[in-house]
Amino acid sequence: MKITTSFAPSASLATECLVVVVLDHGDKENPNPQVSPTDASLQAAAANLIAAKEVSGKANETTLLHAPAGVAAKRILFVGGGNASSFAGFELRRAAGSAARFLKSKGIRNFAFAAPTLDAGFAESAKASVEGIFVADFDPNVYQTDRKDQSLEDVAILAPAATESEVTRSVAEGVIIGESQNFTRDLVNEPSNRMTPTILAERARAMVHETPGLSIEIMGGDEIQAMKMGAFWSVSQGSAEPPALIVIRYSPEGADASVKLGLVGKAVTFDTGGISIKPADGMEKMKYDMAGGATMIGTMRAIARLKPKLSVMAVVCATENMPSGTAQKPGDVQIAMSGKSIEIINTDAEGRLVLADGLHYAKEQGCTHLVDAATLTGAVVVALGFVNGGVFSNDDTLANNFLAATQRAGEKFWRMPIDEEYRESIKSSIADIINSGGRWGGSVTAAMFLKEFVGDTPWAHLDIAGTAWMEETKPWIAAKSPTGLPLRSLVELVRGMAKQTAGLTTSRVSF
């Protein structure tokens, strides 16, 4: 998809379709839909539709008008943005995505998008619009033999002429983030026979080789065992597929040497549950149990292109979790890289085992701050549904910085507790800890397990089990497809930390 920026007046731009956002400036009892931007020709084109209540401004509502009078575009698509008082980047991304998916379904691959100006300025409007359009352009049906490619071709972002240099830069950033998010989604979308740990490592290597500023190291089973990563190895020992430890480094010149962020991702390319095998119903979705690791790879792609002044290292622990004669069993005791002993209660609580060694390795490599992402527990879905991811952290500053980053990125997370009292649930009678604290507070006890391996290092754990995959039909994103969350938030976190370490403090970021 080619994204361009146009500074021509919206009504005079010749295009297949001009997309205009409609915001409701009234309330529930007295709606007052208005077109934004407030161009007289666009207002006139919308007037009859608004009067007929065919255009209301309701979020993600779409109404197509053919051959509009006084406008050079062949069509106008009015897309609802919801109430004007609460309209922000989150709503704009979804409105842009809803418009893109609607037009794709009509075979329209070229359009211009006239975004309203957000409180943060039009540059942020342009970036959010581009990100939303990229999310909408992804379709998961890559292996259908009769697949009709409806990918978007050319999209113009309309902007005020006074903002030319700033908007051009923001659009370019949006393209980098959008492409990286869809790169992540491509990885997650692959079936497990086409995305083994070895293939994931090779896809990461190919990405690094085409991305200046990154380096990569890939270690196999022998090296994992030699480093005494007993927790990681215990998960992989039941599979015929060899595991891979994927380490990607970004070390820009001029970065503060005292700060290094470690991004640790769970990449279980297929999770049967092992000996504690899962039910057959829905097990096919366990191909996306590597979404956390894929997100870290995609994040490294984005930051290397955006070039923030912060050293970052991604550690991705890739394996399958399979039942076999060599698989670990409930009751086994494993020794993690840190030396901590773990009693295996449930072999389906495997993600925390690979992350335990990944987190310790990142610490050993000098990371001063740690963030991990994983489709870790069904319990977080019970707690938060499919709307918010869970954030667990031992450090208020890091947690607050990440939550601020989610606001800028338009992704939803909610902080969860990790009080010391929960540690009682993971005590073992034979080893230091058990790998499953049982049903109650399952997402919390999983986080408490990970906390054992980070010590005093500032750390945040992102449980994305409910948000990494979109099962339902939504107007802004394809159903039955990966989301690529939380790539945008991680990118914003890195950029915020880079600004702070450079002394460029802002009201939104503390470090």
Which residues are the active-site residues? 278, 352
What per-residue string of b and e applies to 94-132 under the rule 16 or more CB within 10 Å gives b? bbbbbbbbbbbeeebbebbbbbbbbeeebbbbbbbbbbb
Integer Cα distance of 170 and 125 in angstroms: 9
DSSP state of 231: H
What per-residue string of b and e applies to 146-162 under the rule 16 or more CB within 10 Å gives b? eeeeeebeebbbbbeee
H or E segment to which residue 114 belongs: strand 110-114
Query: Which residue, among 338, 294, 285, 281, has the nearest Cα to 479 in the 3D structure?
Result: 285
The CA distances from residue 275 to 131, 237, 288, in Å, are: 41, 12, 20
The CA distances from residue 17 to 54, 58, 111, 155, 227, in Å, are: 18, 20, 5, 10, 58
Dihedral over alpha carbons 100, 106, 111, 112 (to 10 degrees): -60
Residue type, 16: E
Integer Cα distance of 133 and 135 in angstroms: 5
Query: Which residue, among 214, 225, 494, has the nearest Cα to 357 in the 3D structure?
Result: 225
Q: Say how many C-beta atoms besides its own lie within 10 A of residue 396's C-beta.
A: 11
DSSP state of 141: -
DSSP state of 276: S
Q: Would you state the structure tokens that stand for residue 168, as one six-digit string?
A: 């051009």
Integer Cα distance of 155 and 160 in angstroms: 16
Instruction: Reply yes or no: is the peptide bond before residue 486 cis, omega within 30 of 0.
Output: yes
Structure-token match 């998010």, residue found: 181
Q: Would you state the structure tokens that stand for residue 347, as one six-digit string?
A: 């072999």
Region of 220 (left: φ > 0; alpha: ψ -120 to 50; beta: rest) is beta
Integer Cα distance of 359 and 363 in angstroms: 6
433-434: strand order across its sheet: 333-335, 341-343, 433-434
